[in-house]
Amino acid sequence: MATPAGAPARLQMLGITKAFGRTRALGGVDLEVMPGEIHALVGENGAGKSTLMKVLSGAHAPDGGRMLLDGRPYAPRDPQEARARGVGMIYQELAIAPHLTVAENLVLGAEPRRGPWMDRAAARDLARRTLDSLGHGDIDVDAPAAGLSPSRLQIVEIGRSLALGCRVIVFDEPTSSLAQGDVGRLFQLVGRLADRGIAVVYISHFLEEVRRLASRLTILRDGRSVGTHAVAAIADERIVAAMVGRDVRELYPRSPRRPGEVVLRGGVPGRGDLEVRRGEVLGICGLVGSGRTELLRGIFGLDPGGRTEVGGRTVPPGPRAAWASGMGFVSENRKEEGLALALGIGDNVCLPSLRKLGRAGLVSPAERSRRTLRWIDDLGIRCEGPDQPVGRLSGGNQQKAALARLLEAEADILLLDEPTRGIDIAAKARIYATVDRLVTDPARPRAVVMVSSHLPELLGTCDRIAVMGRRGLGPARPVAETSPEALMAEATAAS
């Protein structure tokens, strides 16, 4: 359904432009959201979604164009004013002060007060009523926020927007911090917000989510809106094509695979065992928290208790020995564990293999740059140069840098934990293509173990898939002999 004729829009953004120095971030964006509508905003990283949302939330002033909120001019000077006018944001990273209680977090910045004193009773009461109205009255408003799961913290954040009386709520990749089961609950909640007449802007990389939730979507590319469509009336391929500006023939390229000998046998007591052959991709699926990450970490020696054999020889415990044996590991948590965000791309890429960069313990910066440039080129890392801090790259390019580290270390066995989490579809395509190239490299076929919560990606890239269930890792089955339904059933089986 297109715009209902005559009905006043809750939010209109018309011809918004914004430049930073000589870089044009937004070159004319139109967005219109009706009351009670869930409107998806999709586009590659760098397409301008976050800049647009920063304009909406008052963090940046637009250079051109205008905004209307319920038909009245809207030009917030700062986020506080945006919140006061009723525009709330739920960011990807939870905005929670872990040491404060649930109630204190919910009223943070808008505390009910009596003179200098915080009116604690009013704050708790407001928190309780708000959470109740969201169907989550079971959350203890006096509990410290630190003890709550990410999904509950997100509910507290949504409550914060509601308590302020927000009329527009923007969700930026809200499912990236959630476990599978909590996603459904979030969707219900978002639906409930729309039922109350709140206009929801929903940013996501997952077209599946967009289809489940949104009625319309707006596609951004290179800082421009390239179309608003009813979700039901547009096919996935057309959405992706509009996002990247060209046809994507195959998201999951698959060259003929010729698995060789078993190169890795590993296991962790209670979590199961796996073996992987040279020249194949072994996928591990299962619910978040089922122990997939722990299995991989144990095999790589990051957690004690794992047993690992590479090429028939036992690898001593510890990541140092694991690197030496030809293994490499990409952490699911790239910001806290995977990468040193303040350091340059070169420092990050060469960290496990610094000894190659010079003699007698010296490191040659020129050699580091030379080697790093090769991977920047090879993997298409969009950056200013090898010394740019990794923290300033987009998520997809950070993940490419994490992968480059394994290649630079000449790892033959690649353990990848959620390698495409939170990155855009073009970067995902690049990573899938790289994995395919690595396992089919005729000179040096690698072995890859990929943990993922995203079933289409496992089915698209892997040769065999094993499911992590309650009793540990199940048997690995060839991709051709399984289906999303069978995998999901096995992952959620009671015992």
Please give the residue ranges that form the binding site for other proteins (CB under 8 A): 79-80, 83, 91, 93, 95-100, 104, 108-111, 113, 116-118, 120, 138-140, 142-143, 147-149, 152, 160
Which of 179/343 has CB closer to other proteins? 179
CB 56 to other proteins: min, Å:
14
Sort 227 into a burial class: Cβ within 10 Å, 0-12 / 13-18 / 19+: middle
Query: Which residue carries 């009523």 as its tokens?
Result: 129
Q: Minimum CB separation from other proteins for residue 273, in Å?
A: 29
- Distance of closest approach, residue 135 Cβ to other proteins, in angstroms: 13
Element (H, E) at 432: helix 425-440
Residues 6+ apart with CB under 8 A from 13: 29, 30, 31, 32, 52, 55, 56, 65, 67
Q: Report the residue number, 121 or 232, with the smaller CB distance to other proteins.
A: 121
Q: How far is the CB of 87 from other proteins (least distance, A)?
A: 13
Q: How far is the CB of 146 from other proteins (least distance, A)?
A: 9
Q: In the complex, what is the shortest distance from the CB of residue 107 to other proteins, in angstroms, rounded to a whole number?
A: 9
Count the Cβ atoms, other than its own, within 10 Å of residue 313.
Answer: 8
The whole-angstrom separation of Cα 104 and Cα 141 is 8
Sort strands 117-118 and 113-114 into parallel, antiparallel or unpaired.
antiparallel
Q: Shortest distance, CB of residue 151 to other proteins, whole angstroms?
A: 9
Task: Please state whether 173 falls in left (phi above 0), alpha (psi between -120 and 50) or beta.
Answer: left
Closer by beta carbon to other proteins, 80 or else 188: 80
Residue whose tokens read 């962790």: 268
Partners of 273 in the beta sheet?
Answer: 267
Tokens of 28: 């004319």
The Cα–Cα gap between 441 and 434 comes to: 10
| Residue with smaller CB distance to other proteins, 93 or 378 | 93
Query: Tokens 């905003």, residue?
Result: 41
Query: Could you identify the residue written with the tokens 């390229």?
Result: 253
Q: In the complex with other proteins, which residue's Cβ is closer, 79 or 389? A: 79
CA distance 14 to 32: 8
Between 163 and 190, CB nearer to other proteins: 163
Could you give the CA distance from residue 423 to residue 174 in angstroms, rounded to a whole number?
A: 13
- Residue 305 Cβ, how far from other proteins at the closest point, in Å? 20
- Measured from the CB atom, the residue of 78 and 236 that comes closer to other proteins is 78
Q: How far is the CB of 299 from other proteins (least distance, A)?
A: 27
> What is the nearest approach in angstroms of other proteins to the Cβ of residue 78?
9
Calpha distance 418→330 (Å, rounded)? 8
Please identify, using beta-carbon distances, which residue of 99 and 355 lies nearer to other proteins.
99
Count of residues for the chain?
495
Nearest distance, CB of residue 172 and other proteins, angstroms: 12
CA–CA distance, 182 with 155 (Å, rounded to integer): 11
Whole-Å CA distances, 30 to 15, 81, 197, 226, 410: 5, 22, 21, 9, 47
Is 288:179 a contact under the CB 8 Å cutoff? yes
- The smaller minimum CB distance to other proteins, of residues 90 and 425, is found at 90
d(CA 293, CA 309): 19
Distance CA 231, CA 369 (A): 45
Q: What angle do CA 94, 95, 98 make, to 5 degrees?
A: 90
Degrees (nearest 5) of the Cα angle 348, 349, 353? 105
Nearest Cα neighbor of 343 from 359, 332, 354 is 354
Instruction: Report residue 175 as tokens.
Output: 């499912």
Of 100 and 351, nearer to other proteins (C-beta) is: 100
| CB-nearer residue toward other proteins: 181 or 197 | 181
> What single DSSP character describes residue 444?
S
Considering beta carbons, is residue 100 or 488 the nearer one to other proteins?
A: 100
Instruction: Rank residues 146 and 340 by Cβ distance to other proteins and give the closer one.
Output: 146
**How near is the Cβ of 105 to other proteins at its closest, in Å?**
8
Q: How far is the CB of 104 from other proteins (least distance, A)?
A: 6
